[in-house]
Chains A and B, each alone.
Chain A
Protein backbone atom coordinates (compact mmCIF):
# COMPACT_ATOMS: atom_id res chain seq x y z
CA UNK A 1 0.00 0.00 0.00
CA UNK A 2 1.09 3.53 -0.51
CA UNK A 3 -0.65 5.64 2.05
CA UNK A 4 0.65 9.21 1.72
CA UNK A 5 3.10 9.94 4.47
CA UNK A 6 1.27 12.06 7.00
CA UNK A 7 4.29 14.19 7.84
CA UNK A 8 5.89 14.49 4.43
CA UNK A 9 5.51 18.19 3.58
CA UNK A 10 5.16 17.42 -0.12
CA UNK A 11 2.24 15.06 0.54
CA UNK A 12 0.61 17.63 2.80
CA UNK A 13 0.98 20.35 0.17
CA UNK A 14 -0.26 18.14 -2.64
CA UNK A 15 -3.33 17.16 -0.62
CA UNK A 16 -4.01 20.84 0.14
CA UNK A 17 -3.84 21.66 -3.55
CA UNK A 18 -6.38 19.03 -4.49
CA UNK A 19 -9.32 21.42 -4.37
CA UNK A 20 -12.84 20.70 -5.61
CA UNK A 21 -13.55 21.77 -9.19
CA UNK A 22 -16.95 23.46 -9.37
CA UNK A 23 -19.39 21.88 -11.79
CA UNK A 24 -20.42 25.16 -13.50
CA UNK A 25 -22.67 23.45 -16.02
CA UNK A 26 -20.18 20.74 -16.95
CA UNK A 27 -22.63 17.89 -16.23
CA UNK A 28 -25.33 19.60 -18.31
CA UNK A 29 -22.92 19.95 -21.24
CA UNK A 30 -21.96 16.27 -21.03
CA UNK A 31 -25.59 15.12 -20.90
CA UNK A 32 -26.48 17.38 -23.85
CA UNK A 33 -23.69 15.78 -25.88
CA UNK A 34 -24.85 12.20 -25.25
CA UNK A 35 -26.18 10.38 -28.31
CA UNK A 36 -29.99 10.18 -28.53
CA UNK A 37 -31.54 7.34 -26.59
CA UNK A 38 -32.38 4.23 -28.51
CA UNK A 39 -36.09 3.48 -28.66
CA UNK A 40 -36.06 1.06 -25.76
CA UNK A 41 -39.85 0.66 -25.88
CA UNK A 42 -39.87 -0.51 -29.52
CA UNK A 43 -38.68 -4.05 -28.96
CA UNK A 44 -41.29 -5.11 -26.36
CA UNK A 45 -44.03 -3.43 -28.40
CA UNK A 46 -43.01 -5.34 -31.54
CA UNK A 47 -42.77 -8.62 -29.61
CA UNK A 48 -46.12 -8.20 -27.86
CA UNK A 49 -47.75 -7.10 -31.14
CA UNK A 50 -46.36 -10.13 -32.94
CA UNK A 51 -47.57 -12.35 -30.10
CA UNK A 52 -51.07 -10.84 -30.29
CA UNK A 53 -51.24 -11.30 -34.06
CA UNK A 54 -49.85 -14.83 -33.71
CA UNK A 55 -52.53 -15.66 -31.13
CA UNK A 56 -55.29 -14.35 -33.39
CA UNK A 57 -54.01 -16.34 -36.37
CA UNK A 58 -53.55 -19.43 -34.25
CA UNK A 59 -57.08 -19.29 -32.90
CA UNK A 60 -58.38 -18.92 -36.47
CA UNK A 61 -56.21 -21.41 -38.39
CA UNK A 62 -55.08 -24.13 -36.03
CA UNK A 63 -56.90 -27.45 -36.59
CA UNK A 64 -58.95 -27.30 -33.43
CA UNK A 65 -61.57 -29.67 -34.86
CA UNK A 66 -58.91 -32.39 -35.32
CA UNK A 67 -57.65 -32.02 -31.79
CA UNK A 68 -58.68 -35.22 -30.16
CA UNK A 69 -58.31 -35.59 -26.41
CA UNK A 70 -54.66 -36.23 -25.68
CA UNK A 71 -54.04 -39.88 -25.08
CA UNK A 72 -50.75 -40.86 -23.52
CA UNK A 73 -51.26 -44.39 -24.74
CA UNK A 74 -51.06 -43.12 -28.32
CA UNK A 75 -47.53 -41.81 -27.80
CA UNK A 76 -45.68 -45.11 -28.27
CA UNK A 77 -47.57 -45.83 -31.45
CA UNK A 78 -46.54 -42.43 -32.89
CA UNK A 79 -49.90 -42.04 -34.48
CA UNK A 80 -49.41 -38.92 -36.59
CA UNK A 81 -53.13 -38.22 -36.82
CA UNK A 82 -53.26 -37.77 -33.05
CA UNK A 83 -49.85 -36.22 -32.43
CA UNK A 84 -49.49 -33.77 -35.31
CA UNK A 85 -52.28 -31.35 -34.31
CA UNK A 86 -51.00 -31.36 -30.74
CA UNK A 87 -47.41 -30.70 -31.86
CA UNK A 88 -48.64 -27.76 -33.91
CA UNK A 89 -50.60 -26.29 -31.01
CA UNK A 90 -47.74 -26.80 -28.56
CA UNK A 91 -45.14 -25.22 -30.82
CA UNK A 92 -47.34 -22.16 -31.45
CA UNK A 93 -48.05 -21.86 -27.71
CA UNK A 94 -44.32 -22.13 -26.88
CA UNK A 95 -43.46 -19.43 -29.45
CA UNK A 96 -46.09 -17.10 -28.03
CA UNK A 97 -44.91 -17.73 -24.48
CA UNK A 98 -41.30 -16.97 -25.49
CA UNK A 99 -42.34 -13.72 -27.20
CA UNK A 100 -44.28 -12.51 -24.16
CA UNK A 101 -41.50 -13.47 -21.73
CA UNK A 102 -38.83 -11.77 -23.86
CA UNK A 103 -40.94 -8.64 -24.18
CA UNK A 104 -41.53 -8.43 -20.42
CA UNK A 105 -37.97 -9.25 -19.35
CA UNK A 106 -36.22 -7.39 -22.15
CA UNK A 107 -33.99 -10.34 -22.87
CA UNK A 108 -32.98 -11.90 -26.18
Chain B
Protein backbone atom coordinates (compact mmCIF):
# COMPACT_ATOMS: atom_id res chain seq x y z
CA UNK B 1 0.00 0.00 0.00
CA UNK B 2 1.35 3.38 -0.97
CA UNK B 3 0.78 6.37 1.28
CA UNK B 4 0.30 9.85 -0.12
CA UNK B 5 2.60 12.66 0.96
CA UNK B 6 -0.26 14.06 3.06
CA UNK B 7 -0.66 10.70 4.88
CA UNK B 8 3.05 10.54 5.65
CA UNK B 9 3.17 14.16 6.82
CA UNK B 10 0.18 13.55 9.11
CA UNK B 11 1.92 10.53 10.65
CA UNK B 12 5.11 12.51 11.23
CA UNK B 13 3.19 15.33 12.90
CA UNK B 14 1.00 13.08 15.04
CA UNK B 15 3.59 10.54 16.18
CA UNK B 16 6.99 11.85 15.12
CA UNK B 17 7.02 8.76 12.92
CA UNK B 18 10.57 8.51 11.60
CA UNK B 19 9.66 5.69 9.19
CA UNK B 20 7.11 7.97 7.54
CA UNK B 21 9.67 10.77 7.34
CA UNK B 22 12.19 8.31 5.89
CA UNK B 23 9.72 7.53 3.11
CA UNK B 24 9.41 11.25 2.33
CA UNK B 25 13.21 11.54 2.23
CA UNK B 26 13.43 8.54 -0.12
CA UNK B 27 10.83 10.10 -2.43
CA UNK B 28 12.46 13.51 -2.66
CA UNK B 29 16.17 12.97 -2.08
CA UNK B 30 16.90 12.68 -5.80
CA UNK B 31 15.33 15.96 -6.99
CA UNK B 32 16.61 17.90 -3.97
CA UNK B 33 20.17 16.56 -4.26
CA UNK B 34 20.09 17.01 -8.03
CA UNK B 35 18.94 20.62 -7.67
CA UNK B 36 21.59 21.40 -5.06
CA UNK B 37 24.22 19.63 -7.16
CA UNK B 38 23.46 22.03 -10.01
CA UNK B 39 23.40 25.02 -7.69
CA UNK B 40 26.80 24.15 -6.19
CA UNK B 41 28.22 23.59 -9.69
CA UNK B 42 28.73 19.86 -9.21
CA UNK B 43 30.18 19.91 -5.69
CA UNK B 44 28.39 16.72 -4.62
CA UNK B 45 29.76 16.76 -1.06
CA UNK B 46 28.52 20.28 -0.43
CA UNK B 47 25.24 19.47 -2.20
CA UNK B 48 24.69 16.42 0.02
CA UNK B 49 25.48 18.41 3.17
CA UNK B 50 22.97 21.05 2.11
CA UNK B 51 20.40 18.38 1.21
CA UNK B 52 20.82 16.76 4.62
CA UNK B 53 20.36 20.14 6.31
CA UNK B 54 17.30 20.72 4.09
CA UNK B 55 15.62 17.54 5.30
CA UNK B 56 16.56 18.16 8.94
CA UNK B 57 15.06 21.62 8.68
CA UNK B 58 11.96 20.12 7.01
CA UNK B 59 11.62 17.76 9.99
CA UNK B 60 11.81 20.65 12.44
CA UNK B 61 9.50 22.94 10.47
CA UNK B 62 7.00 20.41 9.17
CA UNK B 63 4.24 21.83 11.37
CA UNK B 64 4.49 25.07 9.36
CA UNK B 65 3.76 23.28 6.05
CA UNK B 66 0.18 24.19 5.22
CA UNK B 67 -0.31 22.01 2.16
CA UNK B 68 -1.17 24.92 -0.12
CA UNK B 69 1.85 24.11 -2.31
CA UNK B 70 3.24 20.76 -3.38
CA UNK B 71 5.50 19.22 -0.76
CA UNK B 72 8.36 19.17 -3.30
CA UNK B 73 7.95 22.91 -3.87
CA UNK B 74 8.16 23.52 -0.13
CA UNK B 75 11.31 21.37 0.07
CA UNK B 76 12.94 23.15 -2.88
CA UNK B 77 12.29 26.43 -1.06
CA UNK B 78 14.17 25.23 2.03
CA UNK B 79 16.95 23.84 -0.18
CA UNK B 80 17.36 27.11 -2.05
CA UNK B 81 17.54 29.05 1.23
CA UNK B 82 20.21 26.67 2.47
CA UNK B 83 22.17 27.24 -0.73
CA UNK B 84 21.84 31.03 -0.46
CA UNK B 85 23.07 30.98 3.14
CA UNK B 86 26.19 29.07 2.13
CA UNK B 87 26.66 31.09 -1.07
CA UNK B 88 26.76 34.33 0.92
CA UNK B 89 29.71 32.97 2.91
CA UNK B 90 31.55 31.28 0.04
CA UNK B 91 33.71 33.29 -2.33
CA UNK B 92 33.67 30.46 -4.83
CA UNK B 93 29.88 30.34 -5.00
CA UNK B 94 29.48 34.10 -4.71
CA UNK B 95 31.53 35.00 -7.80
CA UNK B 96 28.73 33.70 -9.96
CA UNK B 97 26.74 36.84 -9.28
CA UNK B 98 29.33 38.88 -11.17
CA UNK B 99 28.19 38.94 -14.77
CA UNK B 100 30.61 36.87 -16.77
CA UNK B 101 30.68 36.35 -20.51
CA UNK B 102 29.93 32.74 -21.37
CA UNK B 103 32.72 30.64 -22.78
CA UNK B 104 33.13 30.46 -26.54
CA UNK B 105 30.41 28.58 -28.39
CA UNK B 106 31.24 25.02 -29.27
CA UNK B 107 33.03 25.08 -32.60
CA UNK B 108 32.98 21.45 -33.57
CA UNK B 109 29.99 20.75 -35.71
CA UNK B 110 30.75 17.08 -35.41
CA UNK B 111 30.83 17.15 -31.62
CA UNK B 112 29.40 13.98 -30.11
CA UNK B 113 26.26 13.83 -28.02
CA UNK B 114 28.29 13.09 -24.88
CA UNK B 115 30.38 16.21 -25.58
CA UNK B 116 27.15 18.10 -25.94
CA UNK B 117 25.93 16.88 -22.57
CA UNK B 118 29.23 17.81 -20.94
CA UNK B 119 29.08 21.22 -22.53
CA UNK B 120 25.53 21.74 -21.32
CA UNK B 121 26.66 20.84 -17.79
CA UNK B 122 29.49 23.36 -18.05
CA UNK B 123 27.23 25.99 -19.60
CA UNK B 124 24.75 25.58 -16.72
CA UNK B 125 27.57 26.24 -14.25
CA UNK B 126 28.31 29.55 -15.93
CA UNK B 127 24.77 30.88 -15.58
CA UNK B 128 23.86 33.42 -12.92
CA UNK B 129 22.54 31.54 -9.86
CA UNK B 130 19.00 32.87 -10.33
CA UNK B 131 18.94 31.80 -13.96
CA UNK B 132 20.38 28.40 -13.12
CA UNK B 133 17.87 27.84 -10.33
CA UNK B 134 14.96 28.87 -12.55
CA UNK B 135 16.12 26.64 -15.42
CA UNK B 136 16.71 23.62 -13.18
CA UNK B 137 13.40 24.01 -11.38
CA UNK B 138 11.22 24.72 -14.41
CA UNK B 139 12.91 22.81 -17.24
CA UNK B 140 14.31 19.85 -15.32
CA UNK B 141 11.99 19.38 -12.35
CA UNK B 142 8.75 20.43 -14.00
CA UNK B 143 7.79 23.25 -11.64
CA UNK B 144 5.52 25.94 -13.01
CA UNK B 145 6.82 29.50 -13.16
CA UNK B 146 4.53 30.31 -10.22
CA UNK B 147 5.98 27.48 -8.15
CA UNK B 148 9.53 28.51 -9.04
CA UNK B 149 8.73 32.09 -8.02
CA UNK B 150 7.58 30.74 -4.67
CA UNK B 151 10.77 28.70 -4.25
CA UNK B 152 13.07 31.55 -5.26
CA UNK B 153 11.00 34.10 -3.35
CA UNK B 154 10.92 36.53 -6.28
CA UNK B 155 8.29 37.98 -8.63
CA UNK B 156 6.82 35.80 -11.37
CA UNK B 157 8.20 38.11 -14.06
CA UNK B 158 11.73 37.66 -12.73
CA UNK B 159 11.44 33.88 -13.02
CA UNK B 160 10.19 34.15 -16.61
CA UNK B 161 13.09 36.46 -17.45
CA UNK B 162 15.59 34.12 -15.79
CA UNK B 163 14.29 31.15 -17.77
CA UNK B 164 14.31 33.02 -21.08
CA UNK B 165 17.75 34.57 -20.58
CA UNK B 166 19.21 31.33 -19.27
CA UNK B 167 17.95 29.34 -22.24
CA UNK B 168 19.26 31.98 -24.65
CA UNK B 169 22.70 31.75 -23.07
CA UNK B 170 22.67 27.97 -23.24
CA UNK B 171 21.62 28.07 -26.89
CA UNK B 172 24.45 30.46 -27.74
CA UNK B 173 26.92 28.25 -25.92
CA UNK B 174 25.76 25.07 -27.64
CA UNK B 175 25.31 26.52 -31.08
CA UNK B 176 27.30 24.48 -33.56
CA UNK B 177 26.61 21.01 -32.31
CA UNK B 178 24.92 18.88 -34.94
CA UNK B 179 23.30 16.84 -32.19
CA UNK B 180 21.99 19.97 -30.57
CA UNK B 181 20.42 21.11 -33.81
CA UNK B 182 18.76 17.75 -34.24
CA UNK B 183 17.91 16.99 -30.63
Interface string of A1-23 (1 = CB under 8 A from B): 11010001111111111111111
Shortest distance between the CB of B73 and any CB in chain A (Å): 14
User: B133 on the interface (CB 8 Å rule)?
Assistant: no
Instruction: Please count how many residues in chain A sit with their CB below 8 Å of the partner chain's CB atoms.
Output: 31
Rounded to whole angstroms, the CA-CA distance of A35 and B141 in the bound complex is 30
Task: State whether A21 touches B33 (Cβ < 8 A).
Answer: yes
Cβ contact within 8 Å between A13 and B117: yes
Given A37-B18, A40-B16, A14 and B52 contact (CB-CB distance below 8 Å): no
The answer to whether B30 touches A20, judged by C-beta atoms less than 8 angstroms apart, is yes
Interface residues on chain B, number (Cβ under 8 Å): 42
Q: How far is the CA of A15 from the CA of B167 in the complex (A)?
A: 13
Stretch in B3-11, B19-27, B102-110 touching the partner: B19-27
Assess whether A30 is interfacial by the CB under 8 Å rule: yes
CB <8 Å contact, B15 and A21: no
User: A11, B56: Cβ atoms under 8 Å?
Assistant: no
Q: Which residue in chain B gives the minimum CB-CB distance to A11?
A: B139
Majority DSSP secondary structure for residues of B touching A: helix
Task: Kindly identify, within residues 156 to 170 of chain B, every residue whose CB is under 8 Å from any CB belonging to chain A.
Answer: 160, 163, 167, 170
Does B59 sit within 8 A of A, measured CB to CB?
Answer: yes
CA distance A8 to B180 in the complex (A): 10
**Closest approach, in angstroms, between the C-beta of B12 and any C-beta of chain A?**
10
Option from A16, A23, A40 in Cβ contact (under 8 Å) with B26: A23
A34-B56 contact, Cβ under 8 Å, with A14-B120, A27-B22, A27-B26: yes
Let me know if A72 is at the binding interface, CB within 8 A. Answer: no
What is the total of A-B residue contacts with beta carbons within 8 Å? 87
CB pair A26–B29 under 8 Å, yes or no, is: yes
**A-B pairs, 3 with minimum CB distance:** A9-B183, A18-B140, A21-B30
Q: Tell me the B residues contacting A by CB distance below 8 Å.
A: 14-16, 18, 21-22, 25-26, 29-30, 33-34, 37, 48, 51-52, 55-56, 59-60, 116-117, 120-121, 135, 138-142, 144-145, 160, 163, 167, 170-171, 174, 180-183
Chain A interface residues toward B at CB < 8 A = 1-2, 4, 8-23, 26-27, 29-31, 33-35, 37-38, 40, 106
Q: Knowing that A27-B25, A29-B52, A30-B25 are A-B contacts, what are 15 other residue pairs whose CB atoms are under 8 Å apart, sorted by A's residue number?
A: A1-B144, A2-B145, A9-B180, A13-B174, A14-B120, A15-B139, A17-B120, A20-B30, A21-B33, A22-B30, A26-B52, A30-B29, A30-B52, A30-B56, A33-B56
The contact sample of 22 A-B pairs, CB cut-off 8 A, is A2-B138, A2-B160, A10-B171, A10-B174, A12-B183, A13-B120, A13-B180, A17-B120, A18-B140, A19-B34, A20-B30, A21-B29, A23-B26, A23-B30, A26-B25, A26-B33, A27-B22, A30-B55, A34-B18, A34-B56, A35-B59, A37-B16
